[in-house]
Amino acid sequence: MTLLKAISLSHHFDYPLFEDVSLSLDAGESMAIIGVSGSGKSTLMHILSSLLHPIKGDVELFGNNVYRMGDKELVKLRRNDLGMIYQNHYLFKGFSAYENLEVAALLSNQAVDLGLIERLGIERVINQKVTELSGGQQQRVSIARVLTKKPRLIFADEPTGNLDHTTAMEVMEIFEEYLAHHQAGMVLVTHDETLASRCTYRYRMQEGTLKQV
Ligand SMILES: Nc1ncnc2c1ncn2[C@@H]1O[C@H](COP(=O)(O)OP(=O)(O)OP(=O)(O)O)[C@@H](O)[C@H]1O
Ligand SMILES: [Mg+2]
C-alpha cells in the first residue's frame, strides 16, 4: 500500500527553494532526505505532512489528496495516522515526561508503552519536568511520544541530532522495528550518512530539486 505520494511539488519563499519534487513511499519503507542546511528539507517535510501548502503540486496521504480533504478529516488524519518529530521538540513544558506520553496515549486511544521508555533509556527521568531534561533526553521523550500514538507514517526531522552515535543507532533500531512491526513508513531528515544508509531510499536536496542517490 502506498502511504505517501508527492507529485511535482514546487515551493519558494522570497527565492526559489525547490521544483518538481516527486516521491512515493510504501508500507514498511523508509526514506532519508539529506542536503545542506537551508536547502529546504524541513520545508519539504512540512509540505509532505500536510502542514504547509506548496506553491505547486499535490500530496497524497494513504491514497487521498490532502488538498481535497475537509478540515475535520485532515485533523483526524494528523492526530491518528501521522507522527511528527520536529527539529525543535514541542513537548508540553509544564508537564513531566510521563505526562507528555499520557496525553499522547489518551488522544489516540493507546496505552503508554513502558518497554519503549526503557529501550529509549529515559526510565530514570520519566517523572521529571521536561524543562529539567537534557536536549537528548527531550528528543527521546519526543520519539516516545510519537511512537505511543502508533502512527502509520512518521516524519522525523533530525530526530537524533542531539544524540551520541551509539544512542542514535539504538533509536534507529527502534524505528526500524516499529516500521516492520506496524507496516508503517518513515520520512527521515538527517545529516548522518550512517542513518541515511539504513533507509530503504536516500534522496538529496540539491540544486533546487530532490534527487535519489
Ligand atoms: N516560513 C518561512 N518564511 C520565509 N522563509 C522561510 C520559512 N521557512 C523557511 N524559510 C527559508 O527557507 C529556506 C529553507 O529552510 P528549511 O528550514 O527548509 O531548510 P533545511 O534544509 O531544513 O535546513 P537545516 O538543515 O538547517 O534544518 C531557509 O533559507 C529559510 O530561511
Ligand atoms: Mg531543517
What is the tens place of the pLDDT at every residue in 177-189?
999 999 999 999 9
Taking residues 186-205, what's their average pLDDT?
A: 96
Ligand 1: lining residues by beta carbon, under 6 Å: 13, 17, 35, 37-43, 87
Residue closest by Cα to atom 6 of ligand 1 = 13
- What was the pLDDT predicted at 86? 83
C-alpha cell at 42: 524541513
Fold observed for domain 2-212: Rossmann fold (3.40.50)
Confidence at residue 162, expressed as pLDDT on a 0 to 100 scale: 86
Please report which confidence band the pLDDT of residue 87 belongs to, taking 50, 70 and 90 as the band edges. confident
- Which grid coordinates are listed for 131? 524543562
Q: How confident is the model at residue 190 (pLDDT cuts 50, 70, 90)?
A: very high
- Ligand 1 binding pocket mutation candidate from 15, 41, 205, 207 (most atoms within 8 A of CB): 41
Phi/psi for 8 (5° steps) reads 50, 55
Band of pLDDT at residue 70, cut at 50, 70 and 90: very high
CA of 82 to the centre of ligand 2 (A): 19
Q: Where are the alpha helices (DSSP H) in 3-149?
A: 41-48, 71-81, 97-107, 114-119, 135-148
**C-alpha 198 chain-centroid distance:** 16
Rounded to a whole number, what is the distance in angstroms from the first to the last CA of the chain? 23
Question: Ligand 1 centroid vs 187 CA: distance in angstroms?
Answer: 18
pLDDT digits (tens, 9 = 90+) for 129-142: 999 999 899 999 99
Nearest to 106 by CA among 130, 79, 74: 79
For the chain, the maximum distance between any two Cα atoms, rounded to a whole number of angstroms, is 47
Average pLDDT over residues 29-39: 96
Q: Parse the chain into domains and list their residue ranges.
A: 2-212
Residue 149 — pLDDT band, cuts 50, 70, 90? very high
